[in-house]
Amino acid sequence: MTGCIKVLFIGDIVGRPGRNAVKHYLNALQSSEENKYDFVIANVENASHGFGLTEKNHNELASYGIDCFTSGNHIWDKRDIYSYINNSDRLVRPWNYPKGTYGTGCRIFDVKNTKIAVLNFLGRTFMNPVDSPWEIVKNEIEKIKQEAPIVIIDFHAEATAEKICFAKFCSEHKVSAVLGTHTHVQTADEKIINDYTAYITDAGFCGAYDSVIGMAYESSVKRLITSIPERFDIEESALTEFDAIEMSFDAVSGQAQSIKRIQVIKDISEVN
C-alpha cells in the first residue's frame, strides 16, 4: 500500500443533460491513456429530471464507471428510491438523517490495496432540521480512519461559512477531503486546509450550460416574479457544463496532496 490515490469528484448531476455530460467526459477518459483516476465519485441527488434518482438512472450512471454516488436532501424525491437504496452497493445518503432512515451514510471501498471511506452529510443552516454532523464526525471518524486511511466527505449545505467551519473541524480529525455540494455553482476557493484536508466550498454541477443551475429559465423566472409555486423544468440544451474536482491522496496516511478544479463547457449534441 504505497504511492498516491487519484480521485475524481463530480459535482451535482442535473437531469439528462448532466448525465450526458458525465457520459461524454468519462468516455473520453476511458479512450485515453492519460488522466486516469483510481476512484470516481459523483453527487446524483438531482440526476433524474432534476429531483431525485430513479433506479434506471442509478444503473445508467454506474455503467459509465462511477464507483460511488453521494446525494443530499433531494435523494428521496423519486419514490422508487425506497425499493433499491438498501441494495445499492455504491449509493450514500446523508448520514445525519435520523436512525432508521433507509440507506447508509458511509461506505468503504477497496481501491489499489487501500481503502477509501465516503461519507455524506447535510448542513443545518437554511436547511431542513437534521441531526448534528459535527457530533458524528467527532464520534465516528477515528474508528473509520482505523479501517480506511482516506476519508472523503460530501457536505451538502447552503451556507459558505458553515462549509468552511465544518471543513476546518474535519481537518482537525484528519479527514482527507470535504467537498461542498448543493448550490450548483463551482467556487474558486479550492485549497488544502491544515496541510491535510482538500476543500472546496462547492464542486459545481453537470447540466445545461445556458440554464438556471440546470433548470429552464422560463419556469425559474416565472416563480421568482410571481412568488407562486411553479414546476421547475430541466433545460435541455446540448451545450453542457461538466464540473468536477481532481484530487490525490497519500495511500498510507490519507493526507491530501493536491486539489484541482475541472470545468468543461461543450456541445455534446452528437452524444446519444
Enzyme catalytic residues = 74
Per the CB < 8 A criterion, the answer to whether 267 and 239 are in contact is yes
Phi and psi (nearest 5°) for 137? -60, -45
**178 closest CA partner among 84, 102, 263, 247:** 247
Q: Which residues pair with 121 in a beta bridge?
A: 155
The distance from CA 167 to its chain's CA centroid, rounded to whole angstroms, is: 15
Q: How far apart are CA 222 and CA 157, in angstroms?
A: 25
By CB atoms closer than 10 A (0-12, 13-18, 19+), residue 238 is middle
Q: What is the largest CA-CA distance in the chain?
A: 58
* Residues near 8 by beta carbon (within 8 Å), at least 6 away in sequence: 37, 39, 40, 41, 244, 245, 246, 247, 262
d(CA 61, CA 44): 9
Give dist(CA 255, CA 154) in Å, integer: 17
Buried b (16+ CB within 10 A) or exposed e, 239-260: bbbbbbbbbbbbbeebbbeebe
